[in-house]
Chain A
């Protein structure tokens, strides 16, 4: 079974402060991991995927297989980063199943 854990329901930080949204996973194979973001009144959209090792909107995430983690980080939070963030895991089998964590609401205040 695949599972994604996001321990924080709400993370509140000041503008300019560093951000780390935690994500741990359990999966017996080699997972594909993603971060999705949902801004207020907008559709769920992809932010990052582990395979690309890219930085989007200043966010990065590194897959740590030893710790089974895929934490999302940004050195300096901006007000426009306030949103709901979901970590998601896809199995690598033929029947493709994308499983979401419970989500963390990031609130960036002045």
Chain B
């Protein structure tokens, strides 16, 4: 299994809602990532987890809260988002050693209304 699976594929939420994005991989990768991609822009790194511990937070607002419950799962909890947070949210995973190719999920397209 060489896939990163993200659910849901699409999500529409109000500014007062709480929702979660989920990501799963079974490749034994111990590094997992959240990226945000706006239309016609490159992916921007949000968070990096290494061995289930948060190692990089790119100054992301606290309304985004990541969680890595185990080595296969990565969640992104969303609360009180703004319309400008609407974007494609990508999850990725990679090995932690040399030749660390990152595998990307299909993404969750989030719309905040």
Query: A residues within 8 Å of B by Cβ?
Result: 32, 34, 43-46, 49, 51-52, 86, 90, 94-103
Contacts and interface: CB of A to CB of B under 8 A. Distances in A.
Given A32-B100, A46-B101, A95-B56, A100 B107 contact: no
A104 to B, nearest CB: 11
A97 B31 contact: no
The 6 closest A-B CB pairs, nearest first, are A100-B42, A44-B104, A95-B55, A43-B106, A43-B104, A46-B101
Interface residues of B, number: 25
B48 A51 contact: no
A43 B107 contact: yes
Interface of B: 31, 33, 41-45, 48, 50, 55-56, 90, 92, 94, 96, 98-107
A13 B44 CA distance: 28
Contacts of B43: 44, 86, 100
Contacts of A45: 104
Contacts of B100: 32, 90, 96
B99 A97 contact: no
A34 B48 contact: no
13 contacts: A34-B102, A43-B105, A43-B106, A44-B104, A86-B43, A94-B50, A95-B48, A95-B55, A96-B50, A97-B48, A98-B45, A99-B45, A100-B43
A46 B104 CA distance: 9
Contact of A49 (B41, B50, B101): B101
Given A43-B105, A44-B104, A95 B50 contact: yes
Nearest to B105: A43
A41 to B, nearest CB: 9
Nearest to A86: B42
A98 B33 contact: yes
Given A32-B100, A46-B102, A102 B31 contact: no
A61 B94 CA distance: 22
Contacts of B106: 43
Given A32-B100, A95-B48, A101-B42, 10 more contacts: A43-B107, A46-B102, A49-B101, A86-B42, A86-B43, A94-B50, A96-B48, A98-B33, A98-B45, A100-B42
